[in-house]
Chains A and B, each alone.
Chain A
Amino acid sequence: MNAVPLALYVAAFVAYAWHFARRDASVGRTATTLLAAGALAHTFAIGMLTMEVGQVPIRGATSAISMFVWLLALAYLYTELTTDERAMGVFILPIIAGLQVIPALRPVVETRSAVLQGPLFSLHVSSLLFAYASFALACVIGITYVLLFKEIKAKHLGFFYARLPSLQALDRMNQRAIVIGWVFLTLGMIVGVVWATQARGYADVAPQVQAMSLQDPKILVALVCWAIYSFELFAARRIGWGGRRTAYLSALGFAIVLLNFVPISYFFTKSHNF
């Protein structure tokens, strides 16, 4: 079920790369169409799974990744449509296609646990997934900023100079993505704390609830992320940081998000493995 969107995402990546290299407008439109088709197929896959298990599939780590990919595809499509810039696609699609490999290979097992019912849990997961999608965009925008910055600084106006929007535009897009991501990260974490306190009552049926503490790597690393993005916002607003510094911070922040999202979810956490 998740293989069709994966195939479309891979095809979209090829088209975006082709468009980036040759700057052919019709190839660019094809790329966007393929990505939109992938997102649509993905919507269908998630919809089918929702009907099958009777709840939105965000409880298992694999289904959360699938959901994240879907949100990222939609967030990127939204950015592309509002800014009319296609150059970022070639950087964002590897993340989309790469992560989609996991749900395409592993069967999505949706656990039905009494402790995971209720709106608070759904709000917690979906807020964080949306925050991660924003951070992924910020990271890609930050990387392209650095690439363009280096070209202009080195007085070698070539490949990226001809293809990317202005430094100012990239800086602004990066900051906007960070603000949106930070708001949802904060919201998701607060809701998580509230939910965890309520879930204490289920400790006998769900031993994971007892592991909800700062010692758990998933929670600890999430706090580190929050600290990094909070600092980035503070530095941008109060110290006047921008440009390369915030770009590097965005890349660092997302690297940690990714670490928390994939390896820690699968192998290390004791609290978030329902």
Chain B
Amino acid sequence: MRLLLVGISHRTAPVELRERVDFQTRGVDRALQALAARGSAREAAIVSTCNRAEIYAACDDAAGAREELVSFIAEFQHVNRAEIAPHVYERTDLDVARHLFRVASGLDSLVVGEPQILGQVKDAHTTASESQTAGPVLNRLFPASFAVGKRVRTETGLGSGAVSVSYASVALARKIFGDLRGRSVLVIGAGEMGKLTALHMKSHGVPQVTIVSRTMAHAARSAEEIGGSAAPWDELDTILARSDIVISATGASSPILTKARVEAVMRPRRDRPLFLIDIALPRDVEAAAGEIEQVFLYNIDDLQATVRENLARRESEVARAEAIVSDEVEKFGAWLRSRSAIPTVVALRQRFETIRRAELERLEFKMAALPSDARARVDEITHLIVEKLLLTPTEQLKALGDADTVGAYAEALTRLFGLQPDKPRDGEQPADRGNVEPFPRPGTRTPR
């Protein structure tokens, strides 16, 4: 069984094309059903985000399936094949595992280390499970990728630090105030940037947002949009006095909050902290206001500098994350290789079982006189002997390092025991190779 990946992402395709092949618009589950109906892959899962559309498949013939999957994307999304073909990349076998592990840990993301992608990979697996297109290989591959994502998150700093200005403000506010519930936010100015930051604060639990603007109507409209309240300009000082976080983003040409004004606001507050976020250009808050005890002043440049620092820090963690990915690819590879021994293991088991049954049948007339519980014991003992005999060879086969050695062993076993790996033997259920358990579960033995 081969692993195959065909997809496009922000690295290979422009946003216009990505939008057109977004599987989410018509439903990932429908796409999986359509793909299953074509029968080119034994297993399939689709990872679909606004930055990528990737089909993960397990198939017998990788080269044929590749062409088939590209055609599928073109036909399903009603896009010209020639149009998407240059943007499509493909991976096979362990490179597929490496790619998915990198995706799940955020290494392949537009913003390195962003956390949403892990959830999106999990969704992809859930949808594939529900559509019954995930089989033993993908059911091993995807959970392994979740584990990689988790390891990278906990063992490296790849996902740490805010990487957008509004998130950086929230992170700072949380470092000053702890919990943001019960804090009040004041937005000065009715611009987009101020609203965006305020919305971010709200999503982190701030219950109260007040907007003050020189034009009351603008303030009222913005307040309505984000679910806050508006207040007239001349109440600015009163509201300042009771606010914890102030986001200032007006178009004023000279500072609105001078040091003297902030000092006057701080006097009755004593040591209650005030976080001033100045995202206006030119500045709304006099830089000297940041000297006041318990006033924390950050302007847009400061916030952007922390974002840049965080991005640099994430970059420096990439090597450690890649090492984890390699480590996990290795483990997955070992599992995948152990699977190539499965047909031989199954054939060997079937051979032994056939001999056991034939011998028991041959002795049937001699055992006829025995009580039924004694006959059951004979059946049990012979079964146990077969199990014991097969235990070591099975373990050894599954632990083999590379495909060539597995092939050589399989060849030798086939000759020594006269096996026919690909054909189910007399009366056995013809089983999908992929789903065969090398050991039968207890209780599944056929009664004589």
Of all chain A residues, the one with the shortest Cβ separation from B162 is: A157
Q: How far is the CA of A241 from the CA of B293 in the complex (A)?
A: 11
Q: Is B154 an interface residue (CB 8 A)?
A: yes
Which stretch from B44-52, B170-178, B192-200 is at the chain A interface?
A: B170-178
A165 touches B270 (CB 8 A): no
B176 touches A241 (CB 8 A): no
The 8 A CB mask of A161-180 against B (1 = contact, 0 = none) is: 11001111100000000000
Of the residues A153, A169, A241, contact of B178 by C-beta under 8 Å = A169
B273 touches A240 (CB 8 A): no
B270 touches A241 (CB 8 A): yes
> Which residues of B have CB within 8 Å of A243?
271, 273, 293-294
Question: What are 7 A-B residue pairs whose CB atoms fall within 8 Å in the complex?
Answer: A153-B290, A166-B178, A167-B273, A243-B273, A243-B293, A243-B294, A244-B294
Q: Is B298 an interface residue (CB 8 A)?
A: yes
B271 touches A166 (CB 8 A): no
B178 touches A152 (CB 8 A): no
> Which residues of A have CB within 8 Å of B293?
243-244
A153 touches B309 (CB 8 A): no
Q: Is A112 an interface residue (CB 8 A)?
A: no
Q: How far is the CA of A241 from the CA of B270 in the complex (A)?
A: 6
Q: How far is the CA of A162 from the CA of B171 in the complex (A)?
A: 11
B175 touches A152 (CB 8 A): yes
Q: How far is the CB of B298 from chain A (nearest CB, A)?
A: 7
The 8 A CB mask of B256-297 against A (1 = contact, 0 = none) is: 000000000000011111000000000000000010011010
Q: Is A245 an interface residue (CB 8 A)?
A: yes
A166 touches B306 (CB 8 A): no
Q: How far is the CB of B269 from chain A (nearest CB, A)?
A: 7
Q: Please judge, given known A-B contacts A25-B154, A155-B298, A157-B309, whether A239 and B176 are in contact too, CB under 8 Å.
A: no
Q: Is A242 an interface residue (CB 8 A)?
A: yes
Q: Is B160 an interface residue (CB 8 A)?
A: yes
The 8 A CB mask of A72-108 against B (1 = contact, 0 = none) is: 0000000000000000000000000000000000000
> Which residues of B have CB within 8 Å of A153?
290, 296
B:123-152 near A, CB below 8 Å: none
Q: How far is the CA of A239 from the CA of B267 in the complex (A)?
A: 11
Q: Is B90 an interface residue (CB 8 A)?
A: no
A:238-257 near B, CB below 8 Å: 239-246
Q: How far is the CA of A153 from the CA of B154 in the complex (A)?
A: 29
B296 touches A152 (CB 8 A): yes
Q: How far is the CB of A149 from chain B (nearest CB, A)?
A: 9
Q: Is B302 an interface residue (CB 8 A)?
A: yes
> Which residues of B have CB within 8 Å of A239?
270
B270 touches A168 (CB 8 A): no
Tally of A interface residues using CB under 8 Å: 22
The 8 A CB mask of A26-66 against B (1 = contact, 0 = none) is: 00000000000000000000000000000000000000000
Q: How far is the CA of A175 from the CA of B238 in the complex (A)?
A: 29
The 8 A CB mask of B352-383 against A (1 = contact, 0 = none) is: 00000000000000000000000000000000
> Which residues of A have CB within 8 Å of B177?
166-168
The 8 A CB mask of A211-242 against B (1 = contact, 0 = none) is: 00000000000000000000000000001111
Q: Please judge, given known A-B contacts A25-B154, A157-B306, A244-B293, whether A168 and B271 are in contact too, CB under 8 Å.
A: no
Q: How far is the CB of B90 from chain A (nearest CB, A)?
A: 38
A240 touches B271 (CB 8 A): yes
B:388-426 near A, CB below 8 Å: none
Q: Please judge, given known A-B contacts A155-B302, A157-B309, A162-B160, whether A245 and B271 are in contact too, CB under 8 Å.
A: yes
Q: How far is the CA of A239 from the CA of B272 in the complex (A)?
A: 11
A242 touches B306 (CB 8 A): no
Q: Please judge, given known A-B contacts A25-B154, A157-B309, A244-B293, whether A166 and B272 are in contact too, CB under 8 Å.
A: no
Of all chain B residues, the one with the shortest Cβ separation from A172 is: B178
Q: How far is the CA of A240 from the CA of B269 in the complex (A)?
A: 7
Of all chain B residues, the one with the shortest Cβ separation from A158 is: B309
A240 touches B272 (CB 8 A): yes
> Which residues of A have CB within 8 Å of B155?
24
Excluding A152-B175, A244-B293, 9 further A-B contacts by CB distance (< 8 Å) are A25-B154, A148-B175, A155-B306, A165-B178, A166-B174, A241-B270, A241-B271, A244-B271, A246-B271
Q: How far is the CA of A165 from the CA of B160 in the complex (A)?
A: 15
> Which residues of A have CB within 8 Å of B176?
152, 166-168
B:303-335 near A, CB below 8 Å: 305-306, 309
B271 touches A167 (CB 8 A): no
Q: How far is the CB of B275 from chain A (nearest CB, A)?
A: 9
Q: How far is the CA of A245 from the CA of B272 in the complex (A)?
A: 12
Of all chain B residues, the one with the shortest Cβ separation from A164 is: B175
A:146-201 near B, CB below 8 Å: 148, 152-153, 155, 157, 161-162, 165-169
B175 touches A167 (CB 8 A): yes
Of the residues A24, A166, A244, contact of B175 by C-beta under 8 Å = A166
B272 touches A242 (CB 8 A): yes
A161 touches B175 (CB 8 A): yes
The 8 A CB mask of A199-214 against B (1 = contact, 0 = none) is: 0000000000000000
Q: How far is the CB of B291 from chain A (nearest CB, A)?
A: 9
Q: How far is the CA of A194 from the CA of B174 in the complex (A)?
A: 48
Of all chain A residues, the one with the shortest Cβ separation from B293 is: A244
Q: How far is the CB of B312 from chain A (nearest CB, A)?
A: 12
Q: How far is the CA of A166 from the CA of B290 in the complex (A)?
A: 19
> Which residues of B have CB within 8 Å of A25?
154
Q: How far is the CB of B130 from chain A (nearest CB, A)?
A: 34
Of all chain A residues, the one with the shortest Cβ separation from B160 is: A162
B:156-210 near A, CB below 8 Å: 160-161, 172, 174-179
